[in-house]
Amino acid sequence: MRQKSLWIIAAILIVICGVCLFTCRTHSEPAGFNPTDDNSEFITLTDAVPDAILEIRYFGTYNFVGARIDGYLEPTALITKKAGEALRAVSEDVKAQGYRLKIYDAYRPQKGVDHFVRWAADLNDKKMKPYFYPDLDKSVLFDQEYIMAKSGHTRGSTVDLTLFDMNTEKELDMGGTFDWFGPESHPDFCGNPETGEYTGDNSKSPTGRSITPEQFQHRMILRQAMLRHGFKPLDTEWWHFTLKDEPFPDTYFTFPVRQLNQ
């Protein structure tokens, strides 16, 4: 009887350990995670768009973390060759309208995403809250998916960007800052992005913030140019676009951000 009990206990322990191993693997390597450090299909973004303006926020300290992000070794932007070709077409499009592309981020190494996850788990680190998430408690960042274990940026064909007005020589006023955590960053905030119609509906804003018709239209100029040349938008960030036909939909790259040796 005692031997039978020991076998039952052993079986239970094996099941428990198996569940724990599966759970741990799920958190550290999400489903579909396929890591590689092969950068052979990447280019420096400015090789595709030489006149793009770079403001690589994660190389500096003015970002929601307030520190340089792991994996950003140089203030440059990398992107897959295929996405770079599409972005070149976007650049030509907006240049004809009097604008230039300004890039905040493109390829993001997995260790950068991991840095975000560690930061979000530290609820005491709120030094950048007044600038990027004043209306949110940091504890909701995971639940509301502002921070996730995987990012499309790590697949290499996603870009965060805005427009620079060549006439005023200033960044175009989009009515909100890059990486603002809140509904004010949604493309449908105060308007319908499908029709380009400004509605003024700011009911989603927890504090009654709003944007003007001109600011909404500026967002639409960027959005429409990106969509015309093969990019798809994100429904929570007006600045975020991914190539529809991205070449590596299931691959998450690990090499750092720095100039590539061509």
pLDDT digits (tens, 9 = 90+) for 5-60: 444 444 444 333 443 433 333 334 455 567 899 999 999 999 999 999 999 999 99
User: Residues with catalytic annotation?
Assistant: 237
In a shared domain, residues 229 and 174: yes
On whether both 142 and 63 belong to a single domain, the answer is: yes
Q: How far apart are CA 50 and CA 197, in angstroms?
A: 33
In a domain, 67, yes or no: yes
Residues 27 and 59 occupy one common structural domain: no
Tell me: do 26 and 47 sit in the same domain. Answer: no
Asked if 16 and 118 sit in the same domain, the reply is: no
Q: 244 and 224, same structural domain? A: yes
Please report whether residue 14 resides in a domain.
yes
Which tens digit of pLDDT belongs to each residue from 76-116?
Answer: 999 999 999 999 999 999 999 999 999 999 999 999 999 99
d(CA 174, CA 153): 22
Task: Determine, yes or no, domain membership for 260.
Answer: no
pLDDT given for residue 261 in this prediction: 77
Q: Which residues contact 87 (CB under 8 A, 6 or more apart)?
A: 45, 48, 49, 79, 101, 159, 229
Per-residue pLDDT tens digits for 105-164: 999 999 999 999 999 999 999 999 999 999 999 999 999 999 999 999 999 999 999 999
CA 232 to CA 230: how far, in whole Å? 7
Q: 32 in helix, strand or coil?
A: coil
Q: Are residues 8 and 83 in the same domain?
A: no
- One domain for residues 118 and 2: no
236 plus 129 within the same structural domain: yes
Beta carbons within 8 Å of 15's beta carbon, 6+ residues apart: none
pLDDT at 236 over 80: yes
Residue 181 lies in domain: 40-253
Cα separations (Å) of 203 from 186, 210, 211?
A: 12, 9, 12
pLDDT category at 203 given cuts 50, 70, 90 is very high
**Number of separate domains in the chain:** 2
pLDDT score, position 18: 41
CATH of the domain at 194: 3.30.1380.10
Domain-embedded: residue 258: no
How far apart, in Å, are the Cα atoms of 118 and each of 54, 69, 124, 186?
26, 11, 12, 25
Rounded Cα–Cα distance for residues 69 and 56 (Å): 11
Q: What is the rounded distance in angstroms from the CA atom of residue 109 to the CA atom of residue 69?
A: 10
Residue 87 near residue 37, CB atoms below 8 Å: no
Residue 262 included in any domain: no
Based on the domain organization, do 15 and 138 belong to the same domain? Answer: no
Does residue 21 belong to any structural domain of this protein?
Answer: yes
225 pLDDT more than 60:
yes
Same domain, 101 and 179: yes
Q: Are 102 and 164 in contact (CB under 8 A)?
A: yes
Same domain, 198 and 224: yes
Calculate the alpha carbon distances from 51 to 26, 89, 118, 171, 221 in Å.
41, 13, 35, 14, 19
| pTM confidence score | 0.87
The pLDDT assigned to 31 comes to 54
Q: Residue 32: its pLDDT value, please?
A: 57
Phi-psi region of 32 (alpha: psi -120 to 50; beta: other; left: phi over 0): left
